[in-house]
Every structure is written in structure tokens, then in C-alpha cells.
Amino acid sequence: MLNSPTLSDFISQKGYLPALQSILLDIAKVSVQVQKTLLDAPLGGMLGGNAHVNVQGEDQQKLDAYADELFVQGLLQNTFLAGIGSEERDDLIQGSAQGEYIAFFDPLDGSSNIDVNGSLGTIFSVMPRTQTGTLHNEELLQKGENQVLAGYVLYGAATWLVCSFGKGVHTFVLHTQTDTYHLLHEALQSPKSGKIYSINEGNILDCETPVQDYVKNCQERRYTARYAGALVGDFHRNLLKGGIYLYPATEKSPKGKLRLLYEAFPLAYIAREAGATASNGTMPILDITATALHERTPLFIGSVEMMRDLGAHCAF
């Protein structure tokens, strides 16, 4: 497998825009630092919370803050970026005024898995700017379909980087002896259907009836339930094997729990490029125009036939 191209060679051969190649390579570089940090975290006193509640009102873990710092510092040096939005920062961070792109990050996804050595991820999205000069907040008010690069890194048994420049989805695996990502799948296609459903069933009594009906239908069909507690891990499994992930509005989170700009948008972009699909229950995720950096959304994402079945229950 090491004969397969490196990430750098592959994207260069593909001829993607140099600015986007540069941004992706910087993200990949930081992800290697994050991966090493995660491996050493338990013995390095890096588990647990840091007594800070982030702008989402969620307890921040030490590694949430550390991963955020690594991505922000690593990416601010990239002059193609006019700014960065992160789950862990209240506001957009200004980058280079000459930069033509904005990057959005969930630096560490699945924080509740940190202390139990479960799957973790990083999710990223890159949008073009809509103005020049100093970055303005209104520039993030864009549709998901405007993304020009998106993807995620999954820190599991191995470290995978999955990305799309809008022309198919490619996967890469980190070779730890050389710290380089190598191509695993070119133009990955997700199965049109599957038998895995992923939802926090502890919330089922608080979900709307159509969602309850759909989950019941999955059980009647004897589908398999899988829920990692990390969106990246659940999405990745379902992308490869065929499946559906649901995080609907609940009584506790009436607008949904997941964030539009740095969780739903990038994964919906990957889904579309791999032949899967994503919705908020009333419209395609990629058709939504963001209204705020930390906006939340219900998310239904996965194999097209399962999403069609869900639509039969939920009328979308």
C-alpha cells in the first residue's frame, strides 16, 4: 500500500487549486500533531475537563482546547485563509486580509470519548470569501453548497483523512513511521442502501413521532444499531458500509444538537460526493444558508435508499 501516492502527490496530480491544496496539506500536518497528542494524552495528564464552558454551553475538555489551538495556530500561517471559525471560539478569527477562503473546524469531535479511548475526529470545511479586505461576519452566511473543500480525520485504530474538493471523495491513511498520508480509495462511492442505523436511542421518547416510527421500522426490519458517540466515527462507518445517522431535534435540543457550519455542512458535502445524501428533515443540508457561526441543525445523513425510507416516514 505504501506504493500508493502520498496525499501531497495525489492532490497535485489531480490539479486541484493550489490554494486549496495548500490548506488541505496544512490541515493534514496539524492532524498528525493531534494524533500524536491523543496517543500520549492519558500518560501526559491531558484527559478530563479544563473547567471551561465553551460558547456552546458545553464543558470543554483539555484536548478540545489543545486541538483547537493546534489547528488555529497551524492554519493562521496559511496566507490563503482570511479567517477561521472553530467550535471552541466565540467568534471568527481573522487571518490574512489577502486570503480568499474561510476554514471552519470541529477540532475534536466526540469529546465524550476522550476519557474512554473511543473514536475521535476532526471535521473541516472551506468556503470561498464573498468580500475582500478584512473578514466580515456576514461572509459566513453562505449555503453549504458553496463549500470548495471539506472532510474529516478519524483518529481510530488507524488515522484516516477523508476529503473532497467537489469531485469525488478520496480517503488516505496515515503511515505513522513517515507521518505521511497515503491514498486508500480514489472516488469512493457509498453503498446505495444499508442496514445500519445510528441514533442516540436514549432520546427516542423525546423525538418527533415520524422519527420514532422510522426507528421502529428499522427494528422491525432487524437492522443493526451502531452508535459511537462521535459523529465522525458513525458517519465514516455508514459511508463505507451503508447506513444512516440521525440526530433529530429533541426536547432537550429543539434545534438539534449538531452544528451546521463545521459538522453538518462538511459531512453533507462528503456524503453528496460519495453518492449519499443529507437533510435537516425539511430540506437538503447543502441548500441551507447559515445564519450564525454556531448554528445548530437536526441532521439525517446516509445512504440514499435509507434516506428515502426515512422520508416516507418524515415527509421529506
- Find the shortest distance in angstroms from Cβ 85 to ligand AHG: 14
Q: Which is nearer to ligand AHG, 122 or 277 (CB)?
A: 122
- Which of ligand AHG, Mn ion, none interacts with 200 (beta carbon under 5 to 8 A by kind)? ligand AHG
Q: Which is nearer to ligand AHG, 168 or 229 (CB)?
A: 229
Alpha carbons 212 and 193: distance in angstroms, whole number: 20
Q: Which is nearer to ligand AHG, 108 or 126 (CB)?
A: 108
Name the segment binding Mn ion (CB under 5 A); options: 41-49, 85-93, 199-207, 217-225: 85-93
Helices and strands of the chain, counted as H and E runs: 7, 17
Residue in the structure block whose three cell numbers are 486508500: 184
- Which of Mn ion, ligand AHG, none interacts with 273 (beta carbon under 5 to 8 A by kind)? none
Q: Does 109 contact Mn ion by CB under 5 A?
A: yes
* Cβ-proximal residue to Mn ion, closest one: 109
One-letter amino acid for residue 229 of the chain: G
Alpha carbons 147 and 143: distance in angstroms, whole number: 8
- Which of Mn ion, ligand AHG, none interacts with 257 (beta carbon under 5 to 8 A by kind)? ligand AHG
Q: Which is nearer to Mn ion, 109 or 234 (CB)?
A: 109
CB 87 within 8 A of CB 72: no
- Contacting Mn ion within 141-160 (CB under 5 A): none
Q: Which residues contact 89 (CB under 8 A, 6 or more apart)?
A: 55, 68, 72
Q: Does 106 contact Mn ion by CB under 5 A?
A: yes
Name the segment binding Mn ion (CB under 5 A); options: 47-55, 98-106, 165-173, 239-247: 98-106
Buried b or exposed e, range 82-113, using 16+ CB within 10 angstroms = bbbbbbbbeebbebbeebbbbbbbbbbbbbeb
C-alpha cell belonging to residue 178: 513517515
List contacts with ligand AHG (CB under 6 A).
58, 87, 106, 109-112, 200, 229-231, 257
Cα distances (Å, whole numbers) of residue 133 to 89, 102, 176, 198 = 22, 13, 40, 43
- Which of Mn ion, ligand AHG, none interacts with 26 (beta carbon under 5 to 8 A by kind)? none
Q: Does 234 contact Mn ion by CB under 5 A?
A: no
- Which of ligand AHG, Mn ion, none interacts with 88 (beta carbon under 5 to 8 A by kind)? none
- Find the shortest distance in angstroms from Cβ 159 to ligand AHG: 17
CB 302 within 8 A of CB 238: yes
Q: Does 68 contact Mn ion by CB under 5 A?
A: no
Q: Which is nearer to ligand AHG, 2 or 205 (CB)?
A: 205
- Which of Mn ion, ligand AHG, none interacts with 77 (beta carbon under 5 to 8 A by kind)? none
C-alpha dihedral (212, 213, 214, 219), degrees to nearest 10: 90
Q: How many CB atoms are located within 10 Å of the residue 157 CB?
A: 7
- Which of ligand AHG, Mn ion, none interacts with 275 (beta carbon under 5 to 8 A by kind)? none
Alpha carbons 260 and 256: distance in angstroms, whole number: 10
Q: List residues near Mn ion by CB under 5 A.
A: 87, 106, 108-109
